[in-house]
Amino acid sequence: MLEILPDDLQAYLDTHVDAEPEALQKINRETYLKVLKPHMLSGHYQGRLLSMLSKIMQPKLALEIGTFTGYATICLAEGLTEDGIIHTIEVNPEMEEMLLRNFQSTNVEKKIRLHIGAAEAVIADFATEVFDLVFIDADKKNNLLYFELILEKVRPGGLIIIDNVLWKGKVYGDAKDTDTQLIRKLNEKVAADARVEKLILPVRDGILLIRKK
């Protein structure tokens, strides 16, 4: 994973952020030992950002699209209201056993609802839910689809977070591969969308913050 920020700046930031909770340290280590593409993990610095945003929003109902090993799920769950719930969607059924074990190692297990299946189908099942916070970190080619599907299910003032929108720096270069062009399209569509306020944070691979008006 290319880091957007210079290494020395990132190192400085990493030493001036709250400590990584012990359960998340273990999940971080296990992910790098046992799972393909471990760089997909949010990690310490980005995880503390997600936790902070969730604590600011204090969501009663949150949604995550793309669970991976559950690191970001747990970070987001830290900011839920006392009776809050986060629904998280993972397409790969082989991850279910590890995910349930990871969630059980935390004090937010009871606030997490895991759904195994295709995101589009699971989202369609949320007929009446209104979300306060949504984190999209799944298959990048469908990010724009997920944004469009979920926007109507987010309350006014609610927050949508989309990961990997700088795509290793390719989006502001001259790369013309399909994935890069799809992410550029997402960024351009959201930038032009009058229904939302938006900005990109140059954290790791780029985080797009979107506030529904």
Task: Tell me, yes or no, whether 44 lies in a domain.
Answer: yes
Residues belonging to the chain: 213
- Asked if residue 26 lies in contact with residue 104, where contact means CB atoms within 8 angstroms, the answer is no
Instruction: Report pLDDT digits (tens) over 140-180.
Output: 889 999 999 999 999 999 999 999 999 999 999 899 999 99
Where are the alpha helices (H) located in the chain, listed in sequence order? 7-14, 22-34, 43-57, 71-77, 96-104, 119-125, 143-151, 178-191
Residue 96 belongs to domain with CATH number = 3.40.50.150
Q: How far apart are CA 162 and CA 208, in angstroms?
A: 5
Is residue 112, in this structure, part of any structural domain at all? yes
Here the tokens at position 157 are 């003032």
* pLDDT tens string 91-139: 999 999 999 999 999 999 999 999 999 999 999 999 999 999 999 999 9
Residues 6+ apart with CB under 8 A from 162: 135, 136, 137, 143, 147, 186, 190, 207, 208, 210
At residue 46, does pLDDT exceed 50? yes
Distance CA 44, CA 35 (A): 17
Q: Which residue range(s) make up the domain with 186?
A: 7-212
Question: Is this model's pTM higher than 0.75 or not?
Answer: yes
Q: 2 lies in a domain?
A: no
Convert the pLDDT of each residue in 73-96 to its tens digit: 999 999 999 999 999 999 999 999
**Does the pLDDT of residue 2 top 70, yes or no?**
no
Contact 63, 86 (CB under 8 A): yes
Q: Is 126 a member of any domain?
A: yes
Look at residue 1 and tell me if it is in a domain: no
pLDDT at residue 40 in the model: 85
Task: Give dist(CA 106, CA 179) in Å, integer.
Answer: 35
* Mean pLDDT calculated for residue range 3-7: 77
Q: What is the pLDDT of residue 1?
A: 47
What's the number of domains the chain is made of? 1
Closest CA to 53 of 83, 9, 86: 86
